[in-house]
């Protein structure tokens, strides 16, 4: 019996979602031995990524995978660059939890649309900052970094009126009760792939790839493939103010994509729909549409 080593970051959220994945793997493969190994990434020790920085939370995990120190890597898909290192492959995408962002606020500060002018919002995401600036320029956005516990604690300090996080992280940490509002995607469009987990393997490791693929969710895969194709087509990297969200109904995939100036002064929004079998092509086509609408100047293309 081969032992399968599953690699992940060591944050409470990364460990929680990895334990959930490993539990599903054990259900599918009860005679196999799975062990979790935590890996420290640059994103865990440095204060923040530079604009356009790739692999900030994934590079060290991918290096461990390439060197056979681990067999399956688990990533939050929104952190995983669209360019895959040689020798690695995206083996599966698990069923998405909730793609939306969530607002957690102090008393009387529970709904984004209703927040008074001048309210202080905590987030470190360039996407959330830009979309907030475009949609609610009357709000004050203040930098807020750290893991989920750190950010929730910062809200209690009184320095922020509300904070914005990915809903999926709170759900996976069993903190759904802390969510005051699932933010309308008409106000803030999620990051491409947000709410989904990626299982990455070595291209020549057929056993680990088979294990990982057993958890693949086809609908989620089609949706996030379109979203990540849109991101890749923009040529801007995962740190650009880009949002994308695909929905799927009766085999028809609808993809919405946003690109904003960093200060929110120019927000480009576009949609496309077509057969889900053409999910990647749809994402790339939508990216070209946004670039033609003035997006080239915003991404420096």
CA distances from 247 to 82, 96, 273 (A): 20, 12, 9
Token code pair at residue 66 = 């390439």
* Active-site annotation holder among 79, 98, 101, 222: 79
What is the distance of C-alpha 228 from the center of its chain? Answer: 10
Q: What is the dihedral of CA 31, 94, 179, 44, to 10 degrees?
A: 80
How far is 258 from 264, CA to CA, in rounded Å? 11
Which residue is associated with the tokens 């999926």? 168
Token code pair at residue 103 = 């607002």
| Residues 6 or more apart in contact with residue 144 via CB below 8 angstroms | 122, 123, 124, 151, 154, 160, 163
Q: Which phi and psi angles does 195 have, rounded to 5°?
A: 95, -5
**Residue 79 bears catalytic tag:** yes
How far is 169 from 171, CA to CA, in rounded Å? 5
How far is 295 from 236, CA to CA, in rounded Å? 10
Q: Which residues pair with 140 in a beta bridge?
A: 120
Give catalytic residue positions: 79
């Amino acid at each position: 019996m081969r032992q399968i080593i599953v690699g992940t970051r060591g944050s409470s959220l990364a460990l929680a979602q990895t334990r959930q994945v490993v539990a599903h793997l054990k259900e599918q493969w009860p005679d196999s031995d799975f062990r979790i190994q935590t890996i420290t990434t640059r994103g865990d020790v440095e204060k923040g990524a530079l604009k356009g920085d790739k692999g900030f939370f994934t590079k060290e995990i991918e290096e461990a995978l390439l060197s056979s120190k681990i067999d399956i890597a688990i990533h939050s898909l929104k952190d995983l660059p669209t360019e895959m290192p040689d020798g690695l492959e995206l083996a599966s995408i698990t069923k998405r939890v909730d793609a939306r962002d969530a607002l957690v606020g102090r008393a009387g500060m529970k709904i984004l649309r209703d927040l008074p002018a001048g309210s202080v919002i905590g987030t470190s995401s360039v996407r959330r900052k830009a979309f907030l600036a475009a949609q609610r320029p009357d709000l004050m956005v203040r930098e807020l970094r750290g893991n989920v516990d750190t950010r929730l604690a910062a809200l209690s300090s009184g320095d922020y009126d509300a904070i914005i996080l990915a809903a999926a992280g709170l759900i996976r940490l069993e903190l759904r009760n802390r969510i005051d509002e699932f933010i309308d995607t008409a106000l803030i469009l999620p990051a491409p792939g947000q709410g989904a987990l990626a299982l990455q393997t070595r291209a020549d490791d057929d056993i680990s790839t088979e294990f990982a693929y057993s958890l693949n969710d086809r609908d989620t895969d089609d949706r996030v493939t379109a979203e990540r194709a849109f991101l890749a087509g923009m040529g801007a990297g995962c740190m650009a103010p880009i949002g994308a969200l695909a929905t799927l109904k009766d085999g028809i995939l609808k993809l919405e994509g946003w690109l904003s100036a960093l200060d929110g002064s120019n927000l480009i929004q576009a949609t496309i729909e077509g057969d889900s079998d053409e999910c990647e092509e749809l994402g790339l086509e939508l990216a070209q549409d946004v670039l033609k609408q003035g997006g080239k100047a915003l991404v420096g293309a």
